[in-house]
Structure 1
Amino acid sequence: MSKSFERYQKRKLISSYFSVTLSIGLVLFLLGILGLLVLNTQKLGDHFKEQITISVFFRDSAKQVEIDQLQKSLVMADYTKSAVYVSKEEAAELHSEEIGENFMEFLGYNPLKNSIDVQLNAAFVSPVQVDSIAGVIGEKSFVEEVSYDRPTIELLSENVQRIGLGILVASAVFTLIAVLLINSSIRLSIYSRRFIIKTMQMVGATKAFIRRPFIATSVKLGMIGACLALLALYGLLVYLDGNFPELGLLDDLPQIGLLFGVVFLLGIFIAGISTFFATQRFLNLRTDDLYY
Protein backbone atom coordinates (compact mmCIF):
# COMPACT_ATOMS: atom_id res chain seq x y z
CA MET A 1 0.00 0.00 0.00
CA SER A 2 2.83 2.35 0.92
CA LYS A 3 4.74 1.64 -2.29
CA SER A 4 1.60 2.13 -4.36
CA PHE A 5 1.01 5.52 -2.75
CA GLU A 6 4.64 6.52 -3.35
CA ARG A 7 4.36 5.59 -7.01
CA TYR A 8 1.17 7.62 -7.25
CA GLN A 9 2.84 10.62 -5.64
CA LYS A 10 5.83 10.28 -7.96
CA ARG A 11 3.63 10.13 -11.06
CA LYS A 12 1.69 13.13 -9.82
CA LEU A 13 4.91 15.08 -9.24
CA ILE A 14 6.28 14.20 -12.68
CA SER A 15 2.97 15.20 -14.28
CA SER A 16 3.11 18.51 -12.41
CA TYR A 17 6.68 19.15 -13.58
CA PHE A 18 5.74 18.26 -17.16
CA SER A 19 2.75 20.62 -17.22
CA VAL A 20 4.81 23.48 -15.76
CA THR A 21 7.64 22.92 -18.27
CA LEU A 22 5.22 22.70 -21.19
CA SER A 23 3.32 25.84 -20.17
CA ILE A 24 6.59 27.77 -19.76
CA GLY A 25 7.83 26.54 -23.14
CA LEU A 26 4.62 27.42 -25.02
CA VAL A 27 4.29 30.86 -23.45
CA LEU A 28 7.96 31.72 -24.09
CA PHE A 29 7.66 30.46 -27.68
CA LEU A 30 4.75 32.81 -28.38
CA LEU A 31 6.59 35.59 -26.58
CA GLY A 32 9.63 34.92 -28.79
CA ILE A 33 7.48 35.19 -31.92
CA LEU A 34 6.27 38.60 -30.78
CA GLY A 35 9.88 39.57 -30.08
CA LEU A 36 10.80 38.60 -33.65
CA LEU A 37 7.94 40.72 -34.97
CA VAL A 38 9.11 43.69 -32.92
CA LEU A 39 12.70 43.31 -34.16
CA ASN A 40 11.68 42.81 -37.78
CA THR A 41 8.81 45.30 -38.11
CA GLN A 42 11.07 47.85 -39.81
CA LYS A 43 12.64 45.17 -41.99
CA LEU A 44 9.21 43.92 -43.08
CA GLY A 45 8.08 47.48 -43.76
CA ASP A 46 11.21 48.14 -45.83
CA HIS A 47 10.67 44.92 -47.76
CA PHE A 48 7.15 45.94 -48.79
CA LYS A 49 8.26 49.49 -49.61
CA GLU A 50 10.97 48.19 -51.92
CA GLN A 51 8.36 46.28 -53.93
CA ILE A 52 6.97 49.61 -55.13
CA THR A 53 7.85 50.11 -58.79
CA ILE A 54 8.14 53.34 -60.77
CA SER A 55 7.63 52.59 -64.47
CA VAL A 56 9.26 55.05 -66.85
CA PHE A 57 7.73 54.81 -70.36
CA PHE A 58 9.59 56.26 -73.36
CA ARG A 59 8.35 57.92 -76.53
CA ASP A 60 8.68 55.94 -79.74
CA SER A 61 11.13 58.60 -80.93
CA ALA A 62 13.45 58.03 -77.95
CA LYS A 63 16.96 56.97 -78.96
CA GLN A 64 18.50 53.90 -77.37
CA VAL A 65 21.53 55.90 -76.25
CA GLU A 66 19.25 58.27 -74.33
CA ILE A 67 17.52 55.36 -72.65
CA ASP A 68 20.85 53.75 -71.73
CA GLN A 69 22.17 57.00 -70.26
CA LEU A 70 19.06 57.46 -68.15
CA GLN A 71 19.26 53.87 -66.93
CA LYS A 72 22.91 54.35 -65.90
CA SER A 73 22.10 57.57 -64.06
CA LEU A 74 19.22 55.86 -62.26
CA VAL A 75 21.39 52.91 -61.22
CA MET A 76 23.95 55.32 -59.72
CA ALA A 77 21.32 57.38 -57.84
CA ASP A 78 21.14 57.03 -54.05
CA TYR A 79 17.42 56.38 -54.11
CA THR A 80 17.58 53.45 -56.56
CA LYS A 81 17.62 49.81 -55.53
CA SER A 82 17.35 48.51 -59.11
CA ALA A 83 16.60 49.88 -62.57
CA VAL A 84 15.70 47.27 -65.20
CA TYR A 85 15.15 48.05 -68.87
CA VAL A 86 12.12 46.31 -70.41
CA SER A 87 11.76 46.48 -74.19
CA LYS A 88 8.32 46.71 -75.77
CA GLU A 89 8.80 43.17 -77.15
CA GLU A 90 9.55 41.76 -73.67
CA ALA A 91 6.60 43.65 -72.25
CA ALA A 92 4.33 42.17 -74.93
CA GLU A 93 5.49 38.64 -74.12
CA LEU A 94 4.90 39.14 -70.40
CA HIS A 95 1.46 40.63 -71.01
CA SER A 96 0.51 37.77 -73.35
CA GLU A 97 1.53 35.24 -70.67
CA GLU A 98 -0.57 37.04 -68.07
CA ILE A 99 -3.76 37.15 -70.15
CA GLY A 100 -3.18 33.76 -71.78
CA GLU A 101 -3.37 34.90 -75.39
CA ASN A 102 -1.40 36.93 -77.94
CA PHE A 103 -3.17 40.31 -78.00
CA MET A 104 -1.01 41.55 -80.90
CA GLU A 105 -2.73 39.09 -83.25
CA PHE A 106 -5.97 41.01 -82.75
CA LEU A 107 -4.46 44.49 -82.85
CA GLY A 108 -1.94 43.86 -85.59
CA TYR A 109 0.75 45.89 -83.80
CA ASN A 110 2.44 46.28 -80.43
CA PRO A 111 0.95 49.27 -78.51
CA LEU A 112 3.32 48.92 -75.55
CA LYS A 113 6.31 51.18 -74.89
CA ASN A 114 9.95 50.62 -74.03
CA SER A 115 10.32 51.24 -70.32
CA ILE A 116 12.54 51.10 -67.24
CA ASP A 117 11.18 49.61 -64.02
CA VAL A 118 12.72 51.42 -61.05
CA GLN A 119 12.57 50.04 -57.52
CA LEU A 120 13.51 52.49 -54.77
CA ASN A 121 15.38 52.05 -51.52
CA ALA A 122 12.93 51.95 -48.62
CA ALA A 123 14.20 55.22 -47.11
CA PHE A 124 13.00 57.11 -50.21
CA VAL A 125 9.53 55.55 -50.44
CA SER A 126 7.17 58.29 -49.29
CA PRO A 127 4.55 60.23 -51.29
CA VAL A 128 6.59 63.47 -51.31
CA GLN A 129 9.91 61.86 -52.23
CA VAL A 130 8.43 59.61 -54.93
CA ASP A 131 6.57 62.57 -56.44
CA SER A 132 9.83 64.50 -56.53
CA ILE A 133 11.79 61.65 -58.13
CA ALA A 134 9.06 61.00 -60.70
CA GLY A 135 8.90 64.73 -61.50
CA VAL A 136 12.64 64.93 -62.23
CA ILE A 137 12.53 61.83 -64.46
CA GLY A 138 9.39 63.03 -66.25
CA GLU A 139 11.11 66.28 -67.31
CA LYS A 140 13.19 64.37 -69.87
CA SER A 141 11.96 65.14 -73.35
CA PHE A 142 12.14 61.51 -74.47
CA VAL A 143 10.08 60.28 -71.47
CA GLU A 144 6.38 59.95 -72.27
CA GLU A 145 5.02 58.96 -68.84
CA VAL A 146 6.14 58.06 -65.31
CA SER A 147 3.69 55.70 -63.62
CA TYR A 148 3.53 54.51 -59.99
CA ASP A 149 0.91 53.46 -57.44
CA ARG A 150 0.64 56.54 -55.22
CA PRO A 151 -2.30 55.28 -53.06
CA THR A 152 -0.29 52.19 -52.09
CA ILE A 153 2.70 54.36 -51.17
CA GLU A 154 0.47 56.53 -48.97
CA LEU A 155 -0.99 53.45 -47.24
CA LEU A 156 2.47 52.01 -46.59
CA SER A 157 3.80 55.27 -45.19
CA GLU A 158 0.81 55.68 -42.87
CA ASN A 159 0.48 52.09 -41.68
CA VAL A 160 4.06 50.89 -41.12
CA GLN A 161 4.47 53.06 -38.02
CA ARG A 162 1.01 52.16 -36.76
CA ILE A 163 1.71 48.45 -37.15
CA GLY A 164 5.02 48.82 -35.31
CA LEU A 165 3.32 50.63 -32.42
CA GLY A 166 0.55 48.03 -32.35
CA ILE A 167 3.05 45.18 -32.13
CA LEU A 168 4.88 46.91 -29.27
CA VAL A 169 1.63 47.32 -27.32
CA ALA A 170 0.63 43.71 -28.06
CA SER A 171 4.06 42.52 -26.89
CA ALA A 172 3.74 44.42 -23.62
CA VAL A 173 0.26 43.00 -22.99
CA PHE A 174 1.33 39.48 -23.92
CA THR A 175 4.38 39.70 -21.67
CA LEU A 176 2.07 40.45 -18.76
CA ILE A 177 -0.18 37.54 -19.76
CA ALA A 178 2.89 35.28 -20.03
CA VAL A 179 3.97 36.18 -16.51
CA LEU A 180 0.47 35.50 -15.16
CA LEU A 181 0.15 32.14 -16.96
CA ILE A 182 3.54 30.87 -15.84
CA ASN A 183 2.89 32.15 -12.33
CA SER A 184 -0.46 30.31 -12.23
CA SER A 185 1.12 27.03 -13.37
CA ILE A 186 3.84 27.25 -10.75
CA ARG A 187 1.41 28.22 -8.00
CA LEU A 188 -0.71 25.15 -8.78
CA SER A 189 2.42 23.00 -8.63
CA ILE A 190 3.41 24.48 -5.25
CA TYR A 191 -0.18 24.18 -3.99
CA SER A 192 -0.04 20.40 -4.37
CA ARG A 193 2.93 20.37 -1.96
CA ARG A 194 1.65 22.92 0.54
CA PHE A 195 1.48 20.35 3.34
CA ILE A 196 5.13 19.41 2.81
CA ILE A 197 6.03 23.10 3.12
CA LYS A 198 4.08 23.47 6.35
CA THR A 199 5.51 20.22 7.79
CA MET A 200 9.06 21.42 7.14
CA GLN A 201 8.20 24.72 8.79
CA MET A 202 6.70 22.99 11.85
CA VAL A 203 9.87 20.96 12.46
CA GLY A 204 11.93 24.15 12.61
CA ALA A 205 13.19 24.73 9.04
CA THR A 206 13.68 28.37 8.16
CA LYS A 207 11.72 30.00 5.34
CA ALA A 208 14.87 30.47 3.25
CA PHE A 209 15.79 26.80 3.69
CA ILE A 210 12.30 25.68 2.65
CA ARG A 211 12.15 27.98 -0.36
CA ARG A 212 15.58 27.08 -1.72
CA PRO A 213 14.82 23.59 -3.21
CA PHE A 214 11.48 24.74 -4.64
CA ILE A 215 13.08 27.74 -6.35
CA ALA A 216 15.97 25.59 -7.63
CA THR A 217 13.53 23.08 -9.13
CA SER A 218 11.42 25.79 -10.75
CA VAL A 219 14.50 27.47 -12.21
CA LYS A 220 15.53 24.15 -13.77
CA LEU A 221 12.04 23.71 -15.21
CA GLY A 222 12.19 27.29 -16.49
CA MET A 223 15.52 26.55 -18.20
CA ILE A 224 14.15 23.39 -19.81
CA GLY A 225 10.98 25.19 -20.95
CA ALA A 226 13.05 28.08 -22.32
CA CYS A 227 15.29 25.66 -24.25
CA LEU A 228 12.24 23.98 -25.78
CA ALA A 229 10.85 27.39 -26.74
CA LEU A 230 14.16 28.44 -28.32
CA LEU A 231 14.43 25.20 -30.31
CA ALA A 232 10.91 25.74 -31.67
CA LEU A 233 11.70 29.39 -32.37
CA TYR A 234 14.89 28.50 -34.24
CA GLY A 235 13.01 25.89 -36.29
CA LEU A 236 10.41 28.53 -37.20
CA LEU A 237 13.15 30.98 -38.23
CA VAL A 238 14.85 28.38 -40.43
CA TYR A 239 11.52 27.49 -42.04
CA LEU A 240 10.58 31.13 -42.73
CA ASP A 241 14.07 31.98 -43.99
CA GLY A 242 13.94 29.01 -46.37
CA ASN A 243 10.55 30.03 -47.76
CA PHE A 244 11.04 33.82 -47.64
CA PRO A 245 14.80 34.41 -48.07
CA GLU A 246 14.21 37.99 -49.20
CA LEU A 247 13.26 38.92 -45.63
CA GLY A 248 16.74 38.01 -44.37
CA LEU A 249 15.47 36.83 -40.97
CA LEU A 250 18.76 35.06 -40.17
CA ASP A 251 21.03 37.84 -41.42
CA ASP A 252 21.35 39.67 -38.10
CA LEU A 253 22.66 36.87 -35.86
CA PRO A 254 23.71 39.15 -32.93
CA GLN A 255 20.15 40.52 -32.77
CA ILE A 256 18.68 37.00 -32.84
CA GLY A 257 21.18 35.89 -30.18
CA LEU A 258 20.11 38.80 -27.97
CA LEU A 259 16.44 37.86 -28.37
CA PHE A 260 17.18 34.21 -27.53
CA GLY A 261 19.15 35.31 -24.46
CA VAL A 262 16.29 37.51 -23.26
CA VAL A 263 13.76 34.68 -23.71
CA PHE A 264 16.02 32.24 -21.82
CA LEU A 265 16.61 34.65 -18.92
CA LEU A 266 12.93 35.57 -18.85
CA GLY A 267 12.00 31.91 -18.40
CA ILE A 268 14.42 31.58 -15.46
CA PHE A 269 13.37 34.88 -13.86
CA ILE A 270 9.60 34.32 -14.10
CA ALA A 271 9.90 30.75 -12.80
CA GLY A 272 12.14 31.79 -9.90
CA ILE A 273 10.17 34.85 -8.79
CA SER A 274 6.80 33.07 -9.13
CA THR A 275 8.05 30.20 -6.96
CA PHE A 276 9.39 32.62 -4.36
CA PHE A 277 6.01 34.33 -3.91
CA ALA A 278 4.04 31.08 -4.12
CA THR A 279 6.08 29.40 -1.37
CA GLN A 280 6.05 32.60 0.70
CA ARG A 281 2.25 32.61 0.58
CA PHE A 282 1.94 29.10 1.96
CA LEU A 283 4.64 29.74 4.53
CA ASN A 284 2.60 32.62 5.88
CA LEU A 285 -0.67 30.66 6.08
CA ARG A 286 -1.90 29.01 9.24
CA THR A 287 -2.22 25.23 9.17
CA ASP A 288 -6.04 25.39 9.20
CA ASP A 289 -6.02 27.66 6.12
CA LEU A 290 -4.20 25.04 4.03
CA TYR A 291 -7.46 23.10 3.64
CA TYR A 292 -9.25 25.96 1.87
Structure 2
Amino acid sequence: MKKKEQGHSTVSLFDMQFVTATISTTLVLLLLGMVLFFVLTAHNLSVYVRENISFSLVLDDGVTDREVLRLQRALQQEPFVKEVEYISKERALQDYVAATGTDPQEFVGYNPLGASLEIRLHSAYANSDSIAWIEERIGQDKQVKEVLYQQELIDAVNKNIGRISLILLGLAALLLLISFALISNTIRLTIYSKRFLIHTMKLVGASWSFIRRPFLRRNFWVGVMSAVIADGMLWGAAGWLVTYEPGLVQVVTSEVMALVSAAVLVAGVLITCLCALLSINKYLRMKEGALYLV
Protein backbone atom coordinates (compact mmCIF):
# COMPACT_ATOMS: atom_id res chain seq x y z
CA MET A 1 0.00 0.00 0.00
CA LYS A 2 2.86 2.36 0.75
CA LYS A 3 4.25 1.76 -2.70
CA LYS A 4 0.90 2.56 -4.24
CA GLU A 5 0.65 5.76 -2.23
CA GLN A 6 4.18 6.61 -3.28
CA GLY A 7 3.16 6.10 -6.91
CA HIS A 8 0.32 8.56 -6.49
CA SER A 9 2.55 11.15 -4.84
CA THR A 10 5.12 10.81 -7.64
CA VAL A 11 2.57 12.20 -10.11
CA SER A 12 2.55 15.70 -8.67
CA LEU A 13 -0.39 17.92 -9.46
CA PHE A 14 1.31 21.29 -9.79
CA ASP A 15 4.80 21.38 -11.26
CA MET A 16 6.59 22.86 -14.25
CA GLN A 17 5.04 20.30 -16.59
CA PHE A 18 1.62 21.32 -15.30
CA VAL A 19 2.38 24.98 -16.04
CA THR A 20 3.69 24.17 -19.52
CA ALA A 21 0.69 22.00 -20.35
CA THR A 22 -1.67 24.69 -19.05
CA ILE A 23 -0.08 27.41 -21.18
CA SER A 24 -0.14 25.25 -24.32
CA THR A 25 -3.73 24.18 -23.73
CA THR A 26 -4.79 27.75 -22.98
CA LEU A 27 -3.51 29.00 -26.33
CA VAL A 28 -5.33 26.24 -28.19
CA LEU A 29 -8.58 26.80 -26.28
CA LEU A 30 -8.27 30.53 -26.90
CA LEU A 31 -8.19 29.94 -30.65
CA LEU A 32 -11.10 27.53 -30.39
CA GLY A 33 -13.07 30.03 -28.33
CA MET A 34 -12.38 32.81 -30.82
CA VAL A 35 -13.75 30.76 -33.70
CA LEU A 36 -16.82 29.80 -31.68
CA PHE A 37 -17.23 33.46 -30.73
CA PHE A 38 -17.21 34.47 -34.39
CA VAL A 39 -19.72 31.73 -35.25
CA LEU A 40 -22.19 32.88 -32.59
CA THR A 41 -21.73 36.59 -33.23
CA ALA A 42 -22.16 35.96 -36.95
CA HIS A 43 -25.54 34.43 -36.15
CA ASN A 44 -26.51 37.47 -34.08
CA LEU A 45 -25.25 39.75 -36.82
CA SER A 46 -27.33 37.92 -39.41
CA VAL A 47 -30.41 38.33 -37.21
CA TYR A 48 -29.63 42.03 -36.77
CA VAL A 49 -29.17 42.57 -40.51
CA ARG A 50 -32.32 40.66 -41.45
CA GLU A 51 -34.43 42.51 -38.91
CA ASN A 52 -33.23 45.86 -40.26
CA ILE A 53 -34.34 45.08 -43.79
CA SER A 54 -37.70 46.77 -44.20
CA PHE A 55 -40.41 46.87 -46.82
CA SER A 56 -43.04 49.52 -47.43
CA LEU A 57 -46.79 49.44 -47.68
CA VAL A 58 -47.80 52.39 -49.84
CA LEU A 59 -51.22 53.50 -48.64
CA ASP A 60 -54.13 54.72 -50.69
CA ASP A 61 -54.31 58.50 -51.05
CA GLY A 62 -57.76 58.63 -49.49
CA VAL A 63 -56.87 56.68 -46.36
CA THR A 64 -57.83 58.36 -43.08
CA ASP A 65 -55.80 58.57 -39.89
CA ARG A 66 -58.25 56.21 -38.22
CA GLU A 67 -57.80 53.61 -40.93
CA VAL A 68 -54.02 53.97 -40.74
CA LEU A 69 -54.12 53.41 -36.99
CA ARG A 70 -56.35 50.36 -37.42
CA LEU A 71 -54.04 48.86 -40.03
CA GLN A 72 -50.95 49.62 -37.96
CA ARG A 73 -52.42 47.93 -34.89
CA ALA A 74 -53.49 44.91 -36.93
CA LEU A 75 -50.00 44.53 -38.36
CA GLN A 76 -48.39 44.76 -34.93
CA GLN A 77 -50.42 41.72 -33.89
CA GLU A 78 -48.97 39.61 -36.69
CA PRO A 79 -46.28 37.10 -35.62
CA PHE A 80 -43.96 38.04 -38.48
CA VAL A 81 -43.88 41.78 -37.69
CA LYS A 82 -41.22 43.16 -35.38
CA GLU A 83 -41.87 46.87 -35.84
CA VAL A 84 -44.25 49.10 -37.80
CA GLU A 85 -43.60 52.78 -38.46
CA TYR A 86 -45.97 55.23 -40.13
CA ILE A 87 -44.42 57.56 -42.72
CA SER A 88 -46.68 60.49 -43.61
CA LYS A 89 -46.72 62.20 -47.02
CA GLU A 90 -44.88 65.18 -45.58
CA ARG A 91 -42.15 63.08 -44.01
CA ALA A 92 -41.81 61.01 -47.18
CA LEU A 93 -41.24 64.25 -49.11
CA GLN A 94 -38.64 65.45 -46.60
CA ASP A 95 -36.78 62.14 -46.78
CA TYR A 96 -36.85 62.22 -50.59
CA VAL A 97 -35.51 65.76 -50.74
CA ALA A 98 -32.77 64.92 -48.22
CA ALA A 99 -31.75 61.83 -50.19
CA THR A 100 -31.86 63.25 -53.73
CA GLY A 101 -31.49 66.98 -53.25
CA THR A 102 -34.48 67.69 -55.49
CA ASP A 103 -38.06 68.63 -54.65
CA PRO A 104 -40.65 66.98 -56.93
CA GLN A 105 -43.19 69.68 -56.01
CA GLU A 106 -41.18 72.14 -58.09
CA PHE A 107 -41.91 70.08 -61.20
CA VAL A 108 -45.43 68.75 -60.68
CA GLY A 109 -46.82 71.38 -58.35
CA TYR A 110 -47.90 68.95 -55.61
CA ASN A 111 -46.51 66.20 -53.40
CA PRO A 112 -46.66 63.01 -55.49
CA LEU A 113 -45.42 60.78 -52.68
CA GLY A 114 -47.90 58.76 -50.69
CA ALA A 115 -48.06 57.85 -47.04
CA SER A 116 -46.69 54.44 -46.14
CA LEU A 117 -46.05 51.96 -43.37
CA GLU A 118 -42.46 50.77 -42.95
CA ILE A 119 -42.40 47.19 -41.67
CA ARG A 120 -39.45 45.36 -40.14
CA LEU A 121 -39.81 41.61 -39.90
CA HIS A 122 -38.49 39.06 -37.47
CA SER A 123 -35.37 37.45 -38.91
CA ALA A 124 -37.08 34.11 -39.61
CA TYR A 125 -39.42 35.84 -42.08
CA ALA A 126 -36.78 38.01 -43.78
CA ASN A 127 -36.57 35.98 -46.97
CA SER A 128 -38.16 36.26 -50.39
CA ASP A 129 -40.61 33.39 -49.97
CA SER A 130 -41.97 34.65 -46.67
CA ILE A 131 -42.19 38.23 -47.91
CA ALA A 132 -44.05 37.09 -51.03
CA TRP A 133 -46.57 35.32 -48.79
CA ILE A 134 -46.82 38.40 -46.56
CA GLU A 135 -47.25 40.62 -49.62
CA GLU A 136 -50.14 38.50 -50.84
CA ARG A 137 -51.76 38.52 -47.42
CA ILE A 138 -51.38 42.23 -46.69
CA GLY A 139 -52.07 43.33 -50.25
CA GLN A 140 -55.68 42.22 -49.89
CA ASP A 141 -56.36 45.18 -47.60
CA LYS A 142 -58.10 47.91 -49.61
CA GLN A 143 -56.09 50.65 -47.87
CA VAL A 144 -52.83 49.18 -49.23
CA LYS A 145 -52.01 50.52 -52.66
CA GLU A 146 -48.67 48.79 -53.23
CA VAL A 147 -46.08 46.67 -51.44
CA LEU A 148 -42.46 47.62 -52.10
CA TYR A 149 -39.35 45.69 -51.09
CA GLN A 150 -35.85 45.06 -52.43
CA GLN A 151 -35.91 41.40 -53.37
CA GLU A 152 -32.38 41.38 -54.78
CA LEU A 153 -30.98 42.85 -51.56
CA ILE A 154 -32.82 40.30 -49.42
CA ASP A 155 -31.63 37.40 -51.58
CA ALA A 156 -28.05 38.68 -51.53
CA VAL A 157 -28.04 39.10 -47.74
CA ASN A 158 -29.42 35.60 -47.11
CA LYS A 159 -27.03 34.05 -49.63
CA ASN A 160 -23.95 35.72 -48.17
CA ILE A 161 -24.99 34.94 -44.60
CA GLY A 162 -25.41 31.28 -45.54
CA ARG A 163 -21.96 31.14 -47.09
CA ILE A 164 -20.27 32.84 -44.16
CA SER A 165 -22.02 30.53 -41.69
CA LEU A 166 -20.85 27.42 -43.55
CA ILE A 167 -17.28 28.71 -43.70
CA LEU A 168 -17.22 29.51 -39.98
CA LEU A 169 -18.74 26.16 -39.03
CA GLY A 170 -16.20 24.34 -41.19
CA LEU A 171 -13.39 26.36 -39.64
CA ALA A 172 -14.69 25.56 -36.15
CA ALA A 173 -14.79 21.82 -36.91
CA LEU A 174 -11.28 21.92 -38.39
CA LEU A 175 -9.91 23.85 -35.44
CA LEU A 176 -11.53 21.38 -33.04
CA LEU A 177 -9.59 18.56 -34.68
CA ILE A 178 -6.38 20.59 -34.63
CA SER A 179 -6.99 21.46 -30.98
CA PHE A 180 -7.39 17.80 -30.11
CA ALA A 181 -4.14 16.95 -31.91
CA LEU A 182 -2.12 19.73 -30.28
CA ILE A 183 -3.41 19.11 -26.77
CA SER A 184 -2.98 15.37 -27.25
CA ASN A 185 0.64 15.88 -28.24
CA THR A 186 1.32 18.02 -25.16
CA ILE A 187 -0.28 15.53 -22.78
CA ARG A 188 1.32 12.54 -24.49
CA LEU A 189 4.78 14.03 -23.96
CA THR A 190 4.02 14.60 -20.29
CA ILE A 191 2.82 11.03 -19.75
CA TYR A 192 5.71 9.68 -21.85
CA SER A 193 8.13 10.90 -19.19
CA LYS A 194 6.21 8.81 -16.62
CA ARG A 195 6.03 5.59 -18.65
CA PHE A 196 8.49 3.72 -16.42
CA LEU A 197 6.62 4.86 -13.32
CA ILE A 198 3.44 3.44 -14.85
CA HIS A 199 5.18 0.14 -15.50
CA THR A 200 6.59 0.03 -11.96
CA MET A 201 3.12 0.57 -10.51
CA LYS A 202 1.86 -2.32 -12.63
CA LEU A 203 4.63 -4.55 -11.26
CA VAL A 204 3.66 -3.87 -7.64
CA GLY A 205 0.07 -4.86 -8.36
CA ALA A 206 -1.65 -1.52 -8.84
CA SER A 207 -4.86 -1.74 -10.85
CA TRP A 208 -5.22 0.14 -14.11
CA SER A 209 -7.90 2.40 -12.63
CA PHE A 210 -5.61 3.22 -9.69
CA ILE A 211 -2.77 4.12 -12.08
CA ARG A 212 -5.01 6.25 -14.28
CA ARG A 213 -6.48 8.25 -11.41
CA PRO A 214 -3.63 10.73 -10.69
CA PHE A 215 -3.02 11.37 -14.39
CA LEU A 216 -6.69 12.00 -15.07
CA ARG A 217 -7.01 14.23 -12.02
CA ARG A 218 -3.96 16.22 -13.07
CA ASN A 219 -5.17 16.72 -16.64
CA PHE A 220 -8.67 17.54 -15.45
CA TRP A 221 -7.21 20.52 -13.63
CA VAL A 222 -5.07 21.39 -16.65
CA GLY A 223 -8.29 21.60 -18.68
CA VAL A 224 -10.10 23.63 -16.03
CA MET A 225 -7.27 26.11 -15.47
CA SER A 226 -6.67 26.52 -19.21
CA ALA A 227 -10.36 27.09 -19.88
CA VAL A 228 -10.66 29.65 -17.08
CA ILE A 229 -7.67 31.61 -18.39
CA ALA A 230 -8.90 31.42 -22.00
CA ASP A 231 -12.41 32.49 -20.95
CA GLY A 232 -11.00 35.42 -19.02
CA MET A 233 -9.08 36.59 -22.07
CA LEU A 234 -12.15 36.20 -24.29
CA TRP A 235 -14.35 38.16 -21.88
CA GLY A 236 -11.72 40.89 -21.72
CA ALA A 237 -11.54 41.09 -25.52
CA ALA A 238 -15.35 41.17 -25.80
CA GLY A 239 -15.54 43.95 -23.21
CA TRP A 240 -12.97 45.97 -25.13
CA LEU A 241 -14.90 45.51 -28.39
CA VAL A 242 -18.16 46.71 -26.85
CA THR A 243 -16.40 49.67 -25.24
CA TYR A 244 -14.69 50.58 -28.51
CA GLU A 245 -17.88 50.19 -30.56
CA PRO A 246 -21.04 50.38 -28.40
CA GLY A 247 -23.20 49.33 -31.36
CA LEU A 248 -21.77 45.82 -31.06
CA VAL A 249 -23.70 45.27 -27.84
CA GLN A 250 -26.54 43.86 -29.95
CA VAL A 251 -24.17 41.31 -31.48
CA VAL A 252 -21.71 40.57 -28.66
CA THR A 253 -24.28 39.67 -26.02
CA SER A 254 -23.85 38.15 -22.58
CA GLU A 255 -25.64 35.03 -23.85
CA VAL A 256 -23.01 34.59 -26.57
CA MET A 257 -20.16 34.96 -24.09
CA ALA A 258 -21.81 32.54 -21.65
CA LEU A 259 -22.13 29.92 -24.40
CA VAL A 260 -18.54 30.47 -25.51
CA SER A 261 -17.26 30.20 -21.93
CA ALA A 262 -19.21 27.01 -21.26
CA ALA A 263 -18.11 25.45 -24.55
CA VAL A 264 -14.45 26.29 -23.91
CA LEU A 265 -14.65 24.81 -20.40
CA VAL A 266 -16.33 21.62 -21.58
CA ALA A 267 -13.94 21.27 -24.52
CA GLY A 268 -10.92 21.86 -22.31
CA VAL A 269 -11.90 19.24 -19.74
CA LEU A 270 -13.08 16.64 -22.26
CA ILE A 271 -10.09 16.96 -24.58
CA THR A 272 -7.45 16.89 -21.83
CA CYS A 273 -9.05 13.97 -19.99
CA LEU A 274 -9.66 11.99 -23.18
CA CYS A 275 -6.12 12.56 -24.41
CA ALA A 276 -4.73 11.56 -21.02
CA LEU A 277 -6.85 8.41 -20.97
CA LEU A 278 -5.71 7.36 -24.44
CA SER A 279 -2.04 7.99 -23.63
CA ILE A 280 -2.17 6.17 -20.30
CA ASN A 281 -3.88 3.14 -21.81
CA LYS A 282 -1.18 3.02 -24.47
CA TYR A 283 1.58 2.62 -21.88
CA LEU A 284 -0.50 0.33 -19.68
CA ARG A 285 -0.72 -2.15 -22.56
CA MET A 286 3.02 -2.02 -23.34
CA LYS A 287 5.48 -4.68 -22.26
CA GLU A 288 8.65 -3.61 -20.51
CA GLY A 289 10.84 -4.07 -23.57
CA ALA A 290 8.61 -1.87 -25.71
CA LEU A 291 9.00 1.04 -23.29
CA TYR A 292 12.62 1.47 -24.40
CA LEU A 293 11.67 1.59 -28.07
CA VAL A 294 9.10 4.41 -27.99
Answer yes or no: same fold by TM over 0.5. Answer: yes
1:69 aligned partner, one-letter code:
R
Distance 1:251 1:181, change over 3 A: closer
Secondary structure, in 3 states, of the residue corresponding to 1:104?
Answer: coil
Distance 1:231 1:263 in 2: 11
Q: Deviations over 1:179-225 (max 9, x none)?
A: 1111012223344xx2x542674595558566554443332222210
1:86 matched to which residue of 2?
87
Native 8 Å contact 2:195 2:291 kept in 1: no
Range moving further from structure 2, 202-211 or 142-151: 202-211
How many residues of Structure 1 are paired with residues of Structure 2 in the alignment?
271
Percent identity (aligned): 26
**Structure 1 unaligned blocks of 5 or more:** 1-12
2:127 is the alignment partner of 1:129: no
Secondary structure, in 3 states, of the residue corresponding to 2:265?
Answer: helix
1:52 matched to which residue of 2?
53
2:275 matched to which residue of 1?
274
Quote the offset at 1:132 in angstroms.
2.7
1:250 aligned partner, one-letter code:
S
Native 8 Å contact 1:20 1:185 kept in 2: yes
- Normalised by the size of structure 1, how large is the TM-score? 0.71
Distance 1:187 1:199, change over 3 A: closer
1:144 matched to which residue of 2?
145
Distance 1:37 1:223 in 2: 22
Distance 2:197 2:52 in 1: 67
1:68 aligned partner, one-letter code:
L
1:103 matched to which residue of 2?
102
Secondary structure, in 3 states, of the residue corresponding to 1:244?
Answer: helix
1:245 to 232, 241, 249: 249
1:5 matched to which residue of 2?
none
2:226 matched to which residue of 1?
225
Secondary structure, in 3 states, of the residue corresponding to 1:83?
Answer: strand
Quote the offset at 1:94 in angstroms.
3.5
Quote the offset at 1:42 in angstroms.
5.9
Native 8 Å contact 2:188 2:276 kept in 1: yes
Quote the offset at 1:129 in angstroms.
2.9
Q: Deviations over 1:5-38 (max 9, x none)?
A: xxxxxxxx63x44442122123223333454566
1:6 matched to which residue of 2?
none
Distance 1:221 1:231 in 2: 15
Native 8 Å contact 1:186 1:275 kept in 2: yes
Distance 1:172 1:74 in 2: 42
1:27 matched to which residue of 2?
28
Distance 1:139 1:207, change over 3 A: closer
Secondary structure, in 3 states, of the residue corresponding to 2:180?
Answer: helix
C-alpha RMSD of matched pairs (Å): 3.9
- Normalised by the size of structure 2, how large is the TM-score? 0.70
Q: Deviations over 1:211-266 (max 9, x none)?
A: 5544433322222101112223333555566542334732589xx36x64453233
Distance 1:201 1:78, change over 3 A: closer
Native 8 Å contact 2:196 2:291 kept in 1: no
Q: Which aligned pairs between 1:6-45 and structure 2 lie closer than 5 A?
A: 14=16, 16-35=17-36, 44-45=45-46
Distance 1:289 1:133, change over 3 A: closer
1:114 matched to which residue of 2?
115
Distance 1:61 1:20 in 2: 75
Secondary structure, in 3 states, of the residue corresponding to 2:254?
Answer: coil
2:186 aligned partner, one-letter code:
S
